[in-house]
Amino acid sequence: MERNAERTKANILAAAVAEFSDKGFAGARVDSIAEMAGCNKGMIYQYYGSKEHLYDEVIAYEYQTLSNIEAEIIQNHTDLRELIDVIVDRYFDFLLRHPDFVKIIMWENLNEARSVKANPSLEHVKAPIIECIREAVRRGRREGIFNENANSKVVVFALITGAFSYFSNCHTLPVVLRIDLNNPEFLLSCKQIVKAGIRSYLKK
Amino acid sequence: MERNAERTKANILAAAVAEFSDKGFAGARVDSIAEMAGCNKGMIYQYYGSKEHLYDEVIAYEYQTLSNIEAEIIQNHTDLRELIDVIVDRYFDFLLRHPDFVKIIMWENLNEARSVKANPSLEHVKAPIIECIREAVRRGRREGIFNENANSKVVVFALITGAFSYFSNCHTLPVVLRIDLNNPEFLLSCKQIVKAGIRSYLKK
Amino acid sequence: MERNAERTKANILAAAVAEFSDKGFAGARVDSIAEMAGCNKGMIYQYYGSKEHLYDEVIAYEYQTLSNIEAEIIQNHTDLRELIDVIVDRYFDFLLRHPDFVKIIMWENLNEARSVKANPSLEHVKAPIIECIREAVRRGRREGIFNENANSKVVVFALITGAFSYFSNCHTLPVVLRIDLNNPEFLLSCKQIVKAGIRSYLKK
Amino acid sequence: MERNAERTKANILAAAVAEFSDKGFAGARVDSIAEMAGCNKGMIYQYYGSKEHLYDEVIAYEYQTLSNIEAEIIQNHTDLRELIDVIVDRYFDFLLRHPDFVKIIMWENLNEARSVKANPSLEHVKAPIIECIREAVRRGRREGIFNENANSKVVVFALITGAFSYFSNCHTLPVVLRIDLNNPEFLLSCKQIVKAGIRSYLKK
DNA sequence: GATGAATGAGAGTTCATTCAT
DNA sequence: CATGAATGAACTCTCATTCAT
């Protein structure tokens, strides 16, 4: 068995993402993470100190993945009129491709964000996208296409939760509503509702 | 020491709602539930069989509380134009006053709805509100105020998730967005965005 | 529900015989006994004081059933030459029809006869059959058909264990020897071996 | 505190033999086994999975100890006329020196041989001694000293139960018959009865 | 750096027994 | 006489963590 600290650490983190997103903090098993990571349990304690610290790292890591997407959006957007649509689309795409992310964020909310609150660097993880929207709103006002009183944080909140909500109830609602979330038309309608809601808020 | 089976059973269920909504299935402790219920652990097993069955009862109970609200909405609504606004308002009100409900639903989604799927009666728990919306859409079409192609289940889905999403990220987003969800204006804006999105879907 | 102390007591004892013979003392459940007896658990404690005392009563009861058979044998036997054969046949018959007896005796042996030792009246439960054999051996000596040195207690021991052993390994031996204990020929052979062994001991 | 998986596993098995033979499956305590084995309770679950699997291992182990004795008997016997006597003597010796074995077999019979039946390898654990007796009976017939119709499985059954029965009632019968099983003469008489019974069956 | 044997606290569950009704 | 709600101790089993190797 080859010795490679970097690789082992990365394997542990990846395994931890899978385990914590699947079972949550209380349900996750350190043994399972070690097995998935293909390493010994002792390694986890050597590299991450405790189950709790490992969980913190997972939270930070997951927030970073979305942050990377947001950085991309910010760099590439040009047209103000299309910005909302683009962000909604990118958020839906991201969450669709990262089911782990959705779950981790849900666990962390049920955890009352204790890990997020304990990590000072996360206070600023959304700064770029907030600033991007704030600037867009400002410009939109000047150009006369956006409302004077629109609160840019309301917009960010609506963007995130609008996309998120399609995924966060994805197990119970299909049962009680007897719907199929994989239906592309259904997805399209939901995206349009989110977009229309936010556009309405900005214009009004 | 008074003996009362009915009361004890109810106490256990109430304690279980509190414990499961707070900690989830894996994190909940049967000991804590017994202590909160002011009874012996054995009573829980006598009345509910196992931690898992107790959880199932909690899930069923919580769905029933919302179902009661929905029944009320259906009985009282008259004006088609106001229906969406009324439901959004009532859902937000309900979730605001029932934080346990939000959490339980989130835990159950993370649990992949295993308990919901195992309880056949829950398949029909949403039938009344679905039927109410379907009928409204039908009438709206005839009156010429609603879209021909509007899917009533999309509307129900958007109503539920629209309200839900305000609450389901209520711990992480205030931290990373530096917002205050208790601000009444913020709440109002969010409700308006949800209403506008759905109205747009119906009209378009 | 009719109130009848005698009947309830008898029902409990019958249920206890079934439960203890099936599961042994440690495996038996007071709840099961109450259910089988069609009465409340409290009754068991009222009439028998504890699980342990109830077990003691079961032991005493079972010994009595065999004692009744032995009394019958003693009264009816006449011919000295046939006595051994008769007793072996009657013992096999009894054990065949009373599987509970075999099991209870086995549990009690594994229990190191604590209950038997604690019940002084059981010290004399075998006195009649012992006396019967002793007298038979004495007469057999006088008539010249039995050995001078035959120990009558050896005979009783061999009679009891000879019959018993056909039943006490009735679950393991059929598996490892691949035999069918219900085969009448097999049973006959076993009885003959026991009879021949004891006759040999008496004659030699 | 030395760490040695092999040793710990062996200690647990030895402790389990003692505990299960003493208390049976239901009465045995995992805590007691751990204490006797001088290890932590968790080790038992790591190495044996469950109390039930540990019991299965004990059953298999005990059958093996007798199988070893039987292999020895088979290798060393020469004279056909002495075979029965030798086996009876060796069985009595073995059971005298292995009280655990007798008890475990009794528990397992009361357990309705569930563990024996669940272990396919035990179906053949008696094959060597069965084959040995079968061959002896065949040769005895050819030499004219054994009966034409003797069933070799009856012989094996009688050998095993004959020896076993001396031990399986060793706690109750001494009390109710007022005998001393440690008396060497008594033992000798019992062995002779068993031998005579089987010889009679073979000759007749 | 890496292993896996070992630990101890605590989890869910059972059960003989008691007691208010 | 009879019920069944309630108790508390003890049981089997789990798991985060430590540590000798």
Are C169 and D105 within 8 A, CB to CB?
A: yes
Determine the nucleotide nearest to A40 by Cα–C1' distance: E3
What tokens appear for D23 in the block?
């208390």
Both B13 and B100 in one domain: the answer is no
Note which residues in 127-156 of chain B have CB less than 8 A from chain A. 130, 151, 153-154, 156
What tokens appear for A34 in the block?
């070690």
Both A35 and A74 in one domain: the answer is no
Question: Which residues in chain A touch residue B177, judged by CB atoms under 8 angstroms apart?
Answer: 126, 130, 153, 156-157
The predicted pLDDT at position B79 comes to: 84
Note which residues in 51-110 of chain B have CB less than 8 A from chain A. 63, 103, 105-110
CA dihedral C155, C157, C160, C165 (to 10 degrees): -120
Nearest residue on chain B to A127, alpha-carbon basis? B177
Rounded (to 5) percent helix, strand, coil in chain B = 80, 0, 20
The predicted pLDDT at position C2 comes to: 54
The predicted pLDDT at position A153 comes to: 95
- Identify the CA nearest to C117 among candidates A73, B146, D203, D175: D175
3-state secondary structure chain D: CCCCHHHHHHHHHHHHHHHHHHHHHHHCCHHHHHHHHCCCHHHHHHHHCCHHHHHHHHHHHHHHHHHHHHHHHHHHCCCHHHHHHHHHHHHHHHHHHCHHHHHHHHHHHHCCCHHHHHCHHHHHCCHHHHHHHHHHHHHHHHCCCCCCCCCHHHHHHHHHHHHHHHHHCCCHHHHHHCCCCCCHHHHHHHHHHHHHHHHHHHHC
**Alpha-carbon distance B106 to B104, whole Å?**
5
Measuring CA to CA, how many Å separate C75 from each of A184, C70, C142, D84? 93, 9, 21, 38
| pLDDT tens readout for residues B58-70 | 999 999 999 999 9
- The chains found to touch A (3+ Cβ pairs under 8 angstroms) are B
Q: What is the mean pLDDT of residues B11-24?
A: 97
Both B115 and B175 in one domain: the answer is yes
Nearest by CB to C196, which of D63, D122, D201? D201
Determine the nucleotide nearest to C45 by Cα–C1' distance: E17
HSE at residue A57, side-chain half, CA atoms within 13 A, is 19
**Alpha-carbon distance C166 to A27, whole Å?**
53
Q: Tell me which of B49, B66, B81 is where a domain ends.
A: B49
Q: Which residues are CB-neighbours of B161 under 8 A, at least 6 positions away?
A: A165, A166, A168, A169, A173, A190
Q: Which residues are CB-neighbours of A113 under 8 A, at least 6 positions away?
A: B171, B172, B175
The predicted pLDDT at position A3 comes to: 67
Are B24 and A26 within 8 A, CB to CB?
A: yes
| pLDDT tens readout for residues B112-171 | 999 999 999 999 999 999 999 999 999 999 998 999 889 999 999 999 999 999 999 999
E11 C1': nearest CA residue: B29
Question: Which residues in chain D touch residue C198, judged by CB atoms under 8 angstroms apart?
Answer: 193, 197
Nearest by CB to D165, which of C26, C107, C161? C161
What does DSSP assign to residue B43? Answer: H
The predicted pLDDT at position B76 comes to: 85
Q: Kindly tell me whether chain A and chain C come into contact, counting contact as 3+ Cβ pairs under 8 Å.
A: no
The predicted pLDDT at position A148 comes to: 86
Average pLDDT, chain B: 94
Both C172 and C188 in one domain: the answer is yes
The predicted pLDDT at position C3 comes to: 64
**How many Å apart are D51 CA and F9 C1'?**
21
**Alpha-carbon distance D72 to B82, whole Å?**
94
CB-CB contact of A40 with A71 (8 Å) = no
Both D63 and D36 in one domain: the answer is no
Strands annotated E in chain B: none
Interface-testing mutation among A101, A147, A177, A182, with chain B (most B C-beta atoms within 10 A) = A177
Both D104 and D179 in one domain: the answer is yes
Give per-10-residue mean pLDDT for chain A (204 aa).
78 96 96 94 95 96 95 85 93 96 97 95 94 92 90 96 96 97 96 96 85
Question: Which residues in chain C touch residue D134, judged by CB atoms under 8 angstroms apart?
Answer: none
Q: What is the mean pLDDT of residues D163-188?
A: 96
Q: Tell me which of B31, B49, B67 is where a domain ends.
A: B49
**Alpha-carbon distance B120 to D92, whole Å?**
63
Could you tell me the pLDDT band of residue D92, with boundaries at 50, 70 and 90?
very high
Both B82 and B178 in one domain: the answer is yes
CB-CB contact of C60 with C119 (8 Å) = yes
Give chain B's domain count: 2
Identity of residue C173: L
| pLDDT tens readout for residues B73-104 | 999 877 888 999 999 999 999 999 999 999 99
Determine the nucleotide nearest to B51 by Cα–C1' distance: E12
The predicted pLDDT at position A1 comes to: 47
What does DSSP assign to residue C60? Answer: H
Q: How far is B8 from chain A (nearest CA, A)?
A: 28
The predicted pLDDT at position A103 comes to: 97
| pLDDT tens readout for residues A6-42 | 888 999 999 999 999 999 999 999 999 999 999 999 9
Both A146 and A189 in one domain: the answer is yes
What does DSSP assign to residue B146? Answer: S
Rg (CA), chain C: 20
Along the 204 residues of chain C, how does pLDDT read in single tens digits? 456 788 889 999 999 999 999 999 999 999 999 999 999 999 999 999 999 999 999 999 999 999 999 999 998 877 888 899 999 999 999 999 999 999 999 999 999 999 999 999 999 999 999 999 999 999 998 998 998 889 999 999 999 999 999 999 999 999 999 999 999 999 999 999 999 999 999 986
CA D72 to chain centre: 15
CA angle C65, C183, D190 (to 5 degrees): 60
**Alpha-carbon distance D6 to C108, whole Å?**
36
Q: Kindly tell me whether chain A and chain B come into contact, counting contact as 3+ Cβ pairs under 8 Å.
A: yes
CA angle C22, C23, C28 (to 5 degrees): 120
Residue D157 contacts C where some CB pair is shorter than 8 Å: yes
Question: Which residues in chain C touch residue D117, judged by CB atoms under 8 angstroms apart?
Answer: 175
Both A96 and A37 in one domain: the answer is no
CB-CB contact of B15 with B33 (8 Å) = yes
**How many Å apart are A42 CA and F20 C1'?**
13
**Alpha-carbon distance A61 to A67, whole Å?**
10
Could you tell me the pLDDT band of residue D25, with boundaries at 50, 70 and 90?
very high
- The chains found to touch C (3+ Cβ pairs under 8 angstroms) are D
Both C61 and C42 in one domain: the answer is no
Nearest by CB to B169, which of A109, A117, A186? A109
Are C105 and D179 within 8 A, CB to CB?
A: no
Residue C171 contacts D where some CB pair is shorter than 8 Å: yes
What does DSSP assign to residue C146? Answer: S
Both C115 and C194 in one domain: the answer is yes
What tokens appear for D116 in the block?
């024996």
Question: Which residues in chain B touch residue A161, judged by CB atoms under 8 angstroms apart?
Answer: 165-166, 168-169, 173
- Identify the CA nearest to A176 among candidates B120, C45, B122: B122
What does DSSP assign to residue A146? Answer: S
CA angle C73, C76, C78 (to 5 degrees): 110
Nearest by CB to C26, which of D24, D200, D201? D24
**Alpha-carbon distance D144 to B178, whole Å?**
104
Task: Give the DSSP H or E segment for B196.
Answer: helix B184-203
CA angle C136, C142, C146 (to 5 degrees): 60
CA B182 to chain centre: 20
Protein-covered nucleotides on strand E (Cβ within 7 A)? 1-21
**How many Å apart are B42 CA and F7 C1'?**
8
Residue D162 contacts C where some CB pair is shorter than 8 Å: yes
pTM over 0.75: yes
What tokens appear for B101 in the block?
């409900």
CB-CB contact of C198 with D193 (8 Å) = yes
Q: Kindly tell me whether chain B and chain D come into contact, counting contact as 3+ Cβ pairs under 8 Å.
A: no
Both B44 and B93 in one domain: the answer is no
Residue C5 contacts D where some CB pair is shorter than 8 Å: no
**Alpha-carbon distance B78 to C158, whole Å?**
94
Nearest residue on chain D to C200, alpha-carbon basis? D196
**Alpha-carbon distance C40 to C33, whole Å?**
9
Segments forming the whole domain that contains residue D170 = 56-202
**Alpha-carbon distance D76 to D71, whole Å?**
9
Q: Tell me, what CATH number does B101's domain have? A: 1.10.357.10
What does DSSP assign to residue A122? Answer: G
Residue C173 contacts D where some CB pair is shorter than 8 Å: yes
CA D13 to chain centre: 17
Query: Could you tell me how many helices (H) and strands (E) chain A has, helices first?
Result: 11, 0
Determine the nucleotide nearest to D4 by Cα–C1' distance: E5
Could you tell me the pLDDT band of residue D80, with boundaries at 50, 70 and 90?
confident
**How many Å apart are D111 CA and F2 C1'?**
35
Are D175 and C201 within 8 A, CB to CB?
A: no
CB-CB contact of D32 with D38 (8 Å) = no
CB-CB contact of A139 with B142 (8 Å) = no
